[in-house]
Structure 1
């Protein structure tokens, strides 16, 4: 799933939604076909037992949807919070470079600007994974240069103020960046999504079986049922990958961009 979304971005999400819709619709029709096959074979279709099983499946499906949706929404909020936190930490660390004398101050400020540019470029490059990784590697190199040079220059100053204030601020900015990167890769195990899709398909199978007692298809009910499940699954996936679909955190990058604009 992640490979599909990263490979094609928004278009990949659309393909995924169409695939989910089609597969659930097929499962619905398959349930109807099973009913018709039993009737054609002269057997009495099950009703009571099927209703009990279908109720249990849909109850379990509702529980799993609630669990995955809640987790996805929490992670989405956490990612937005981390963007703001990183912007605050970077702004604080950049201001504390003023504790260093020239020309080291100017050189470190320029490295810091390049570091933030690389961070911004990495997230703007999504879903191009190769470009994202290239920008992240560049930001790591600049981070090492920034830290090493800051430690060296702090030790050269006569006052300990730079060491006490600048280095912890830099460390906080770098830690938040690492936490934010880890948060973008934090998703439920694939088996959770597998169970969710499987329950949707099995539920659609039983729903199609139960709806087959009517002589004619009720397309309105069938399409509404399939569209509801598809929309729910798509929103959950969209929340898990908020830079690839309709639900996005890109607007919060403006906070980092404003910090970058203030680096003069």
Structure 2
């Protein structure tokens, strides 16, 4: 089931759109056969049930949009928080004595470069995993230098500044990794697709009851609901679609870091 997440967004949306048009036609044919035998009372009940189903579909779309958009803005905020945490740790490293000060700054610079490479290589899974492992190694080395500073730094007040700063960088990296591994569940995506196709069938059924294909209305509704689905998926896939997380804070931070001697 996870292979669905690897599909391009436009393939999923186009598939749902085609199925919705097919559901329109199937619903129309079924409604045209049954519509002649319906009474006004049965048709009123039928329309009420259809309105309830369409309302449920709209509710599910609304919740999905709200969930994925909030996670997208959370990723945006996380990129800024990462840049702030790395910058703070970089500056506070200057309070320590050599060689730990230089080593910590060097590991932070390498980590920032790897973090940007990780975003650029987001669609290449093997390269992305290599970048993630390299980031973990840099953070491990960073903390080892903090521990070394704890043994050699005479001023414990200065040391107390670098420890929480380094810990914040490590924690934010863990939060970022967790958010990447937890996209929109495939079961919810399938549920949304089924709901959109069912809504297309309901539209066709209503048209069949009056014996006329409302092609323009079918087209408009199918396009609108699939566009909403596209935006939901686009929010949830920050490296695949049009809506991508802005990493400008990290880019600016990396550019501001001075080269340290090895």
The alignment status of 1:44 with 2:37, answered yes or no, reads yes
Per-residue CA distance 1:19-53 (angstroms, 9 max, x = gap): 111111111111012134447xxx62563332122
Cα offset, 1:177, TM superposition: 1.7
1:211 maps to 2:204:
no
Contact preservation (8 Å) 2:204, 2:213 = no
Q: In structure 1, what is the equivalent of residue 255 of structure 2?
A: 261
Q: Which moved more, 1:106-115 or 1:118-127?
A: 106-115
Query: Partner of 2:149 in structure 1?
Result: 153
- Counterpart of 2:220 (choices 208, 224, 244) is 224
Within a 5 Å distance, the mapping from 1:81-160 to structure 2 comes to 81-160=77-156
Deviates more, 1:80-89 or 1:204-213: 204-213
RMSD of aligned alpha carbons? 2.0
- SS of equivalent to 1:212: helix
The alpha-carbon distance between structure 1 residues 216 and 52, as it changes in their structure 2 partners (threshold 3 A), is closer
> Which stretches of structure 1, 4 residues or more, deviate above 6 A after TM superposition?
none
Once the 2 structures are TM-superposed, how far is the Cα of residue 88 of structure 1 from its aligned partner? Answer: 0.3
TM-score in terms of structure 2 length? 0.89
- Displacement of 1:162: 3.5
Q: Is the contact between residue 80 and residue 250 of structure 2 (CA under 8 Å) also seen in structure 1?
A: yes
| Structure-2 residue corresponding to 1:76 | 72
Could you tell me which of 176, 189, 202 is aligned with 2:172?
176
Q: CA 1:2–1:261 in structure 2 vs 1: closer, same or farther (change >3 Å)? A: farther
Which ranges of structure 1 fall in alignment gaps of 5 or more residues?
Answer: none
More deviation, 213-222/129-138: 213-222
Structure 2 Cα separation of the partners of residues 61 and 96 of structure 1:
52
Contact 2:100 2:148 (8 Å CA) reproduced:
no
SS for the counterpart of 1:47 is helix
